[in-house]
Amino acid sequence: MRRWTRWLPLLLVLLWSPGARAGAKIKVVATIPDLADLSRQVGGDLVEVQSIATGVEDIHAVPMKPSFAVLLNKADLVVLMGLEAEHAFLPGLLEAARNPKIMRDAPGYIDCSVLLTPLEVPTRIDRSLGDQHPMGNPHYNLDPVALKDAARAIADGFSRNYPEHEDVFRKNLDAYLAKLDAAIARWKQEAAPLRGKKLVSYHPDMIYFADRFGMQAVGTIEIRAGVDPTPSHIAELEDMMRRDHVDVVVRELHYPAGLAATVAQATGAKLVELPAMVGGVPEAKDCISLIDYNLQAMLKAVQGSA
Amino acid sequence: MRTKPRLCCLVCACAAMLLVLQVGRTAAEESDAEQLKNEIEALKRQMKLLEEKIQKQERLIDKLAAEKGAPQKPAEAAAPAAVAPAGTAPAGAATEAVAPPAPEGESQQDKLASEVTERVMRNIRPSLAGANKTFPSQFNPAIGLIVDTAASYKENERANFEFRSAELGVSASVDPFARGYAILNGTNDGFEVEEAAIVTTSLPWNLTVKGGRFFADFGRLSKFHDHDLPFVNRPIVLDEYVGGESQADGVEVSWLAPTSQYLTLTLGAYNKMGADNDRADNDTPRNLTDFTYLGRAATFLNLSDANSVDLGASWAYTPKIPSEGGLNRQLVGVDLTYRYLPLSEAQYRGLIWGTEVLYNRENRIPPADETASSPDQIVVPGLERGPAPQFVRTSALGMPQEQEDPASAEEPTFQRHGAWGLYSYVEARLSRRLYPGFLFDFAQDIDPGVGDTRAYSPYLTLWMSEFQRLRFQYTYLDAPMNHESEFFLQWTIVLGSHVHGFRDR
């Protein structure tokens, strides 16, 4: 009896280990709610998805909480934006999570940018140009067509790890892409008034949205990506905005309100406050409602200024 | 007389030649212009042909893209097509919802597609091969350099420009089972390997083993490099009790409990702990009783999205310290870090309160008379008084062996002594750039009979960017025999590779 009880703690550990629960749902951890939504759409009933970020954060400053390491420790798959978007928290958390299945470039590490053609790929890597992303601008979650690439990458990743469910993933993917296509068609018509309009955002994270809906992203309040502005930069920006008749100033909701409002007021541009992720505002419950929200807010501003 | 007509003839001949030459040149120029015109015309024709060719290829690519967008299985394609409203498909996406072409056209299109693909691939293959080419240097580790410098003024020691360190960090995966990293540090005292460690990455049961030279898992800020500290100087209690950074040569095993509550347990064995701990060295082989052993437990409480607490308890035990008569030493620490980080404003607003309390318990020789300064004095981090311990020499088994100085044969009086100290700091985030804070230090001397040290340090950190930082700090030091004001201006930069490690959170 004594000998048996001596091994009890070890037995408990083995029973607790993640691989012990056969037949359970596939545990997916997504870095942001947008990817959690796509993962649910593709995985359907086969997956149980949790997101690290809630959606109100700046993706470059998600706090590295140890509780996320626990989440990742138990995960079968991790789904991420890639292009170093999660540089501030994911590498550290993966190190703490001790889960070889989802380490960088392991089969369970699903990078949603692999099928994407990134914008703003720098031709020169230099910190004097700000907090650069060497592989391109990572804020593609605001472009509905790029979301299709992300969904396909998720389906590929799920199928790679669970080939026995590939048919289900492909079927779910096709259904979701059709739904997204219908929405894209609607958005394209609705976005007609945005064509040719110019915007300035706080951070260079509106480029995919602008490109998709025919707008021009002509500047940022940050002097360089990730670097707070100086007074001389703001003066130059305002001069440029007046000269080029910039229509809209976008304040992503995780950036300070004051400066963006001041710039908009000084130049006569309309201020638009937009979430950068699903969950950034209560209305943005999933990827489709996020794009809906952003598009309507932008249209309201542009049509109001016309 | 005859020279004049001869000269006239010569002049006339020259004029005639010049005329002929000029006419010839004009004719030649006209012919060149004509040739040029012809060439331009030919180029225009070529351009037109190329344009037509490009347009043709573009049309073909559009066709192929439409074909590619159509699912292979017509049955599956029917469902999405039905969901999309007719006539509303956008350019980019709509192509994917287009119905498959008529079967009779398929073979011709397939043939065309394969021809185009082949031609395009032939053209781009050299570029692809070039882009995909790998170089042996791509296996080089990520490299970063941190330069830390400061200007200081102390009432008793006066002013100085301090070159604190230039720290080169390299890190990379070793193989599928381990990663490695090294921190090589250059200071005014020379060049040293601050850390060089191997860390396993794929052990079962949430285990991680670390070996080499690294910062032992004792407390929180002991594991931070000097330039990563939230303030200019390391807290006094860590300098005196741990010996600066918790650098250790040895091995550490860490386990993450497979529970929903974050809990890690660490066990370690080291030659010694503390970069500036001179009581033991790394070169002399020793008994198992002479190593330093460590145990640590750490957990995390997520009070809400914005509020959280990190808690840890550490225990370092050295059964015998050979240089001090084989006496044992225990160092216990408790650390608590409270964070308020509103998720939507984490870059701009926040507050951190960090506290560590340490308790040191060991048999200490009472300090000698202040006037009795001799080469026999021992050097303990933060302490420079007390008689040398070499009158008791230990054997390889740690047993007292011989009396070195028969003249001073009297047995030293060891006194069981416990000492404690703490630091506590609070730091606010007012904006992305401004981080003001206040640090309080208190430490009893680990020798009995020596007074306590206190320090009060308000500071302001100004982040120019994520990679450059200025810090202003004032410290009022209240130590035995030393009461002074100190001023610091620290300037730190990061070059090259930069990672946000879990250890430095």
Q: What is the pLDDT of residues B126-147, one digit of tens each?
A: 777 766 666 677 788 889 999 9
According to the model, what pLDDT value does residue B321 have?
A: 87
Q: Tell me if B500 and A88 make a contact (CB, 8 A cut-off).
A: yes
A19 touches chain B (CB under 8 A): no
A133 vs B contacts (CB less than 8 Å): none
Cross-chain CB nearest to B500 (options A64, A144, A181): A64
Among B495, B486, B415, residue whose Cα is nearest residue B448: B415
A167 touches chain B (CB under 8 A): no
Distance from CA of A9 to the nearest CA of B (A): 12
Distance from CA of B293 to the nearest CA of A (A): 23
Average pLDDT taken over every residue of chain B: 79
Q: Tell me if B467 and A127 make a contact (CB, 8 A cut-off).
A: yes
Confidence of residue B240 (pLDDT cuts 50, 70, 90): very high
More confident residue, B151 or B417: B151
pLDDT at B406 over 70: no
A residues 237..256 contacting B (CB < 8 A): 253-254, 256
β-partners of residue B144 are B169, B496
B302 touches chain A (CB under 8 A): yes
Q: Tell me if A92 and B91 make a contact (CB, 8 A cut-off).
A: no
Distance from CA of A59 to the nearest CA of B (A): 10
A174 vs B contacts (CB less than 8 Å): 71, 76, 79-80
User: Between the CA of residue B238 and those of B360, B382, B461, what are the distances in Å?
Assistant: 11, 10, 22
Number of residues in chain B: 505
Cross-chain CB nearest to A181 (options B76, B84, B259): B84
Measured in degrees and rounded to the nearest 5, phi and psi for residue B318 equal -115, 110
According to the model, what pLDDT value does residue B333 have?
A: 97
A225 touches chain B (CB under 8 A): no
Least confident of A234-238, B393-397, B428-432: B393-397
Measured in degrees and rounded to the nearest 5, phi and psi for residue A125 equal -100, 115
Least confident of B17-31, B81-95, B112-126, B448-462: B81-95
According to the model, what pLDDT value does residue A221 have?
A: 96
- H/E stretch holding B485: strand B482-496
Q: Is A39 left (phi over 0), alpha (psi -120 to 50) or beta?
A: alpha
Strand locations in B286-394, DSSP E?
A: 292-302, 307-321, 327-340, 350-364, 393-394
> Residue A172's Cα: distance from chain center in Å?
21
**pLDDT tens, per residue, chain A with 306 residues:** 455 556 655 555 544 444 444 568 999 999 999 999 999 999 999 999 999 999 999 999 999 999 999 999 999 999 999 999 999 999 999 999 999 999 988 999 999 999 999 999 988 888 888 888 889 999 999 999 999 999 999 999 999 999 999 999 999 999 999 999 999 999 999 999 999 999 999 999 999 999 999 999 999 999 999 999 999 999 999 999 999 999 999 999 999 989 999 999 999 999 999 999 999 999 999 999 999 999 999 999 988 755
pLDDT at B302 over 70: yes
Cross-chain CB nearest to B465 (options A56, A64, A227): A227
pLDDT at B42 over 70: yes
According to the model, what pLDDT value does residue B84 have?
A: 34
Task: Return the sign of the alpha-carbon dihedral for residues B231, B233, B235, B238.
Answer: positive
C-alpha A76/C-alpha A106 separation (Å) is 11
pLDDT at B401 over 70: no
According to the model, what pLDDT value does residue B47 have?
A: 76
User: Is the ipTM here above 0.90?
Assistant: no
According to the model, what pLDDT value does residue B399 have?
A: 36
Confidence of residue B410 (pLDDT cuts 50, 70, 90): low
B347 touches chain A (CB under 8 A): yes
Q: What is the mean pLDDT of residues B405-423?
A: 68
Q: How confident is the model over B352-366, as pLDDT tens digits?
A: 999 999 999 988 766
Q: Number of residue pairs across A and B with CB atoms under 8 Å?
A: 147
More confident residue, B207 or B20: B207
Q: What is the mean pLDDT of residues B160-164?
A: 94
* Closest chain B residue to A105, measured at CA: B176
According to the model, what pLDDT value does residue A10 have?
A: 55
Distance in angstroms between the alpha carbons of the first and the last residue of chain A: 84
According to the model, what pLDDT value does residue B396 have?
A: 34
Joined tokens for residue B57: 């290829």
Confidence of residue B336 (pLDDT cuts 50, 70, 90): very high
According to the model, what pLDDT value does residue B87 have?
A: 35
Q: What is the mean pLDDT of residues B276-293?
A: 90
For tokens 């550990």, name the residue: A13
> Of the segments A18-22, B272-276, B411-415, which one has the largest average pLDDT value?
B272-276
C-alpha A266/C-alpha A260 separation (Å) is 10
According to the model, what pLDDT value does residue B378 have?
A: 39
A residues 98..127 contacting B (CB < 8 A): 98, 100, 103, 127
> Amino acid identity of A214?
G
Q: How confident is the model over B72-86, as pLDDT tens digits?
A: 443 333 333 333 333
According to the model, what pLDDT value does residue A253 have?
A: 95
Radius of gyration of chain B (CA): 39
More confident residue, B416 or A127: A127
Q: Tell me if A228 and B201 make a contact (CB, 8 A cut-off).
A: no
Report the share of chain B in percent with pLDDT over 70: 73
User: Between the CA of residue B270 and those of B248, B252, B324, what are the distances in Å?
Assistant: 6, 8, 18
Distance from CA of B347 to the nearest CA of A (A): 6
C-alpha A77/C-alpha B188 separation (Å) is 48
